[in-house]
Structure formats: C-alpha cells, structure tokens
A and B are shown apart, each in its own frame.
Chain A
Amino acid sequence: MRDGFAEGLVQAGEEDENLIVVCADLVKSIKIDKFAEIFPDRVIDLGVAEQNLVTVSSGIASCGKNVFAASYAIFSPGRNWEQIRTTICINNQPVKIVGSHAGITTGPDGATHQALEDIALMRVLPNMIVLSPCDYLETKKATIAMAKLNKPCYIRFPRSEVPIITTLDSPFEIGKAQVLKEGNDVSIIATGEMVHFAQLAASELETSNISARVINVSTIKPLDTKVIQQAAEDTGAIVTVEDHQIVGGLGSAIAEYLSENFPVPIKMVGIKDKFGESGAPEELMQKYGLTKEEIIKAVTTVLRMSAKG
C-alpha cells in the first residue's frame, strides 16, 4: 500500500507543481524517496519533529501550497493531535496528513509503533476528512484524490503487504463506500486491509447458505450513510471490521449513525481495548482477533441477535 501512496504522490506531483511534501526523517520508510528523486525542491525534511511537521505544513498551506505531511500514524496524528486541531482544523488549512504504519500489522516493532487509535483521533475533529483505503490500487487513487481536495484530510495505511482486491476500474470517490459483494442476510462493513478478510469470510459463509454483503468503507469521514443505511435496511444485521480499536473507530462511526437512524444489531471486529506486542502481522492478527474466523463468529452472533439465524 505504501507503493500505492508513493506512485499516487508522484502522479499528483506531476499534475500539481504546487504540491509540497513535508516529512520527519522517514522519507524512505514511507516511500517518499521516489517523489524526492523527481522533485527534490518540493520536499522538506524537518527531522524528528512531528509537532513541527504539522504546524509548518499549516503555514505552508496558508500560502496556497498543496501540502502533504507524512510520518508514521503513531507519531502523526499520535504525538501532534492538538497542533493538528488548532493549526489545521480550526484554521481550516487544507493540509494532507499521511499516517503510514497504521494498525497492529506494523508487527515486530511492537506496541509503541502500532497505531490503533488514529482513526478515533482524526474522526473527532471538525473539518477533517478521514481515508482508509483497502489495497495498493485504492491507496494510489485515494492519494491522487486527496491531492485535489482543498480540505484538511488524513489518510492511514498499513506497512504490511496487502493483497490487491480492487481493479484499475473500481470506482473510487472520497465520501463513497463500495459494495464489493451483494448479500441479503448480513452486511460485513470493513476498512483498510481488513476488507480482504471480510471477503474471505463472506465466501465461506456462502457455503453455509448465508448471503453476506461486503462493503468497503474507504472514507470513514464523511461516512457514506446512504450505503450504510441501505445495508441496515436490506440485511438487518451488521458486522464491522477494522485494524483499530473498536472504541472510536469504524464500528463506532457506523453505530453512531445507525443507532440514530435505523437501529439494527451490530457486532464489531477490531482491537478490544488492548495494546499490541511484537510478532509477525499474521501472528498478531490471530491473537488479537482480526481473522476470517472471528468475522464468521461475529456474523453468527449478530444473526442470532437479529433473530434471523
């Protein structure tokens, strides 16, 4: 997915000579090196200084530049949340914040480096748009789309390799969720690399005659409430899936909307109020319940709750 970001950034940089990238000593790690090679004058490396990263970016944006501010999600928005709130969101400066290495799949680096709270942190801020693409292709499209957006925006993606599940022709639009598979019994609504696991779970459920709709929410804010409400109305039961704390993440966003507009039973698959630890991404996903099996279990439970199962 970092490659998708890297390529999207280069393309966006070719299309907009006002595009500036600000980074904090992680140019290679976030794969900004390609962009830096082509546009050396449009990259600022300000060292290990994440508070400066977003505040300098706010100043640059105020002079009409299209700024991307990139670091690991745990440090930006993790360390500099209040600076983002004041100088980007209250000011309404269209800085594009890039949080790489999001989620437990950051793996061997351990709990300190696994951002499991960044969606919550960014979702609560007025004016902020929150993107969480599902694969390489979608990350590339999202990067290009956010470059054209004149609003504060946050994009998160994991470090790990993720299977490509969309195609070049798959539609992508900020603010729109995509139904990847139709189904009538239950809706599995997922974000990021967990969309792939939602698909695997849905295929397996088919064999037990459970028809699951799969929805990819690549824009967490603003939420595509039309698609979510339709899913609730059509299937009456919902499972949400994310590599993020259940508290404050995608599941919360969907529950907030549906509880006020079309209440149906919801089960949430995600990190359950815990910190991670070192391990291979697959080992950690197993231990922390980010698996196909966990999704299937959640579907069984939610169907029982909705009195359909």
Chain B
Amino acid sequence: MTNFSAQRIFELKKIANKIRQNIISMIFEAGSGHPAGSLGMADIFTALYFEILKHDPKNPDDPDRDRLILSNGHICPVQYASLAHAGYFPVEDLQTLRKFGSGLQGHPHRGFLPGIETTSGPLGCGLSEACGMAWVGKNDNKDWKVYCLMSDAEGQEGNTWEAVMFANKYKLNNLIAVIDRNNIQTDGTVEDVMPLNSLKKKYQAFGWAVAEIDGHNFEEILGAFEEAKDLAVAGPSLIIANTIPGKGVSFMENKFEWHSHKISKEEMEKALTELREEILHG
C-alpha cells in the first residue's frame, strides 16, 4: 500500500475531475477530438504530473527531468489539461485546442508547447523513442526516468513490439510504460478488431515486469508507479491500466463511438453537470 493520505487522494481526485471538465469543454470548443481515451486517462495523468514525475514546469527543458512520452498522441487533451494545471502554461489557453496559431496542436507537436517531449499521433512510435531515451539515461548513469504512455490498440503495430524487445535486451529498468487498456479503438472493441488477449503474458514473455491495476483507483495507480520506479527491478516495467473509456460521463463510458467524436452543446452541458456532481458527492 501507498503512503498517500486520504486527504491527498481526495485532492488528486478533484484535480482529475477538473481535468475531465477541461477535456469536455476543450473538445466542444474545438469541434473535434478524442474524448473517450482522454477522459479514461485523467486519473493516471493526474497521478503522474502531481505526484510521480520529477519535473519543473518553469524549466521544462531541465536535463535532469523525468521524460513523459505520450505515444498515443490523440489523447493529448488530457495531457494539455494536466500541463496547464501543473503550471506549464495558463489554463485559459486550453480553449485554443486545435485552433490556428495555438500551441495546442491537434496532435502533440514538439516545439509548439512547453512540456511536450515528442511529436506523436502516428501510433506505435512512442515506446521506441522512450527506449532511446532510457538507453541514454541508463548508459550515462542518470537518475531520471522515462514514462511512456500508450494505448491498447498500439499493440497492433509491429513497431511497438520491436521496442518491447529492445527494452528487454538493454534491461531498461529506468523505463516505465503504461498501457491504457480500455478495450476500444476506432472500429470497435480491441478484442473484436484484432484481439490482444493477455498483454500481461505477452510482455512477461518478453522479459518485462508487469503490474495490472484499476486505472481509476489512485491507491493502485500510485502504488504501481512506486513499485515500477524501484530500480531493483532488473528490466523494464509495464503497468496495464484497466480503464473505462469516457470515464466520468455516463453516456460516453465504454462506447467506442466516443473514441473520436465532436461534442454538442447539450452533450457538453450534460457531461459537465455530471462531473460537477461527481466531485460534490464523490
């Protein structure tokens, strides 16, 4: 179990709730975007930016920072909202998502926004980039770690498995990957479109240490990160986060149609009402 107080966990829940509200209004304002995955990962992003990561929003290029690679770039609204609340840029900027001249590009674009380590969106590349970084960190005896966030459907990309083997060969124990196991993708459920079955067994067979958690339970999330950070683990670590796509908005939950979808004004209002009530009663 973790050392986090009930009070702290409640604070984190409040931040995640705020981030979810931002996601809804950002995508509404933009007129397009990816709500389901973004909402589903709000708790994990909150844990990372507000507890786990060693980072300094005022010095985003600090060479000693932990690196956070978002491989499935389409859920960038959750990262943008987390970065804003962490202090990388003003929260008001969130409403410029996907607009001309904004740093909040439709998919993350390195150089456009502080805190974005790499350009992503084309799926299946992030873990390789994270491997390259972790290889350098390990070779040069650096303290910083590399966190790579991926979607489950990225497990259908060959490039991902090339990286999985690499991390094992070079025993990258400073690399912590997280898979958003929400079982949705564009065309349906992941298990229908192209089954991945047990990601746990697959990764274990490739030499990874694997933990499987409820991606909405802060105690489990924080506990898994604390464990994965322990360098006593000989190789790379994976956290499989079972999440509910669309989490927090009843009519979006577990519906693959919300992978990519615009949000109407009525839908936004309904969603925001639900989210506000959740935090009042939660």
**Residues of A at under 8 Å CB distance from B?**
41, 44, 46-47, 49, 51-52, 55-65, 82-83, 86-87, 90-92
**Residues of B at under 8 Å CB distance from A?**
63, 109-111, 117-122, 124-125, 128-137, 139, 158-159, 162-163, 165-166, 169-170
Query: Which residue of B111, B119, B136, B169 contacts A60 across the interface (Cβ within 8 Å)?
Result: B136
CB pair A63 B163 closer than 8 Å = no
Q: Residue among A47, A51, A56, A91 with the most chain B CB within 10 A? A: A56
| Assembly CA distance A56 to B132 (angstroms) | 4
Query: Which residue of B121, B130, B132, B137 contacts A86 across the interface (Cβ within 8 Å)?
Result: B121
User: Separation in Å of the B162 CB from the closest CB of chain A?
Assistant: 4
CB pair B135 A51 closer than 8 Å = no
User: Separation in Å of the A56 CB from the closest CB of chain B?
Assistant: 4
| Assembly CA distance A62 to B130 (angstroms) | 10
Q: Residue among A49, A65, A92 with the most chain B CB within 10 A? A: A49
Contacts of A49 in B (CB 8 A): 162, 165-166
CB pair A62 B120 closer than 8 Å = no
CB pair A86 B128 closer than 8 Å = no
Is chain B's interface secondary structure helix, strand, loop, or mixed overall?
helix
CB pair B110 A91 closer than 8 Å = yes
Given the known A-B contacts A60-B136, A92-B111, are A55 and B159 also in contact in the complex, defined by CB atoms under 8 Å? Answer: yes
CB pair A51 B162 closer than 8 Å = yes
| Assembly CA distance A106 to B211 (angstroms) | 48
Please list 5 pairs of residues, one from A and one from B, whose beta carbons are closer than 8 Å in the complex, sorted by A's number. A51-B159, A51-B162, A56-B131, A65-B136, A87-B128
Q: Residue among B120, B122, B162 with the most chain A CB within 10 A? A: B162
CB pair B158 A55 closer than 8 Å = no
User: Separation in Å of the B48 CB from the closest CB of chain A?
Assistant: 19
Given A46-B169, A65-B136, A83-B122, 13 further pairs, Cβ under 8 A: A44-B170, A47-B162, A47-B165, A51-B125, A56-B131, A59-B118, A59-B128, A59-B134, A61-B132, A83-B159, A86-B119, A90-B110, A91-B118
Contacts of A62 in B (CB 8 A): 117-118, 129, 132-133
User: Separation in Å of the B113 CB from the closest CB of chain A?
Assistant: 13
| Assembly CA distance A235 to B191 (angstroms) | 66
Contacts of B125 in A (CB 8 A): 51, 55, 83, 86-87
Closest residue on chain B to residue A50 by CB atoms = B162
| Assembly CA distance A91 to B128 (angstroms) | 14
User: Separation in Å of the A127 CB from the closest CB of chain B?
Assistant: 11
Closest residue on chain A to residue B142 by CB atoms = A63
CB pair B132 A59 closer than 8 Å = yes
| Assembly CA distance A68 to B141 (angstroms) | 22
Q: Residue among A57, A59, A62, A90 with the most chain B CB within 10 A? A: A59
User: Separation in Å of the A38 CB from the closest CB of chain B?
Assistant: 17
Closest residue on chain A to residue B117 by CB atoms = A62
Contacts of B129 in A (CB 8 A): 55-56, 58-59, 62, 87
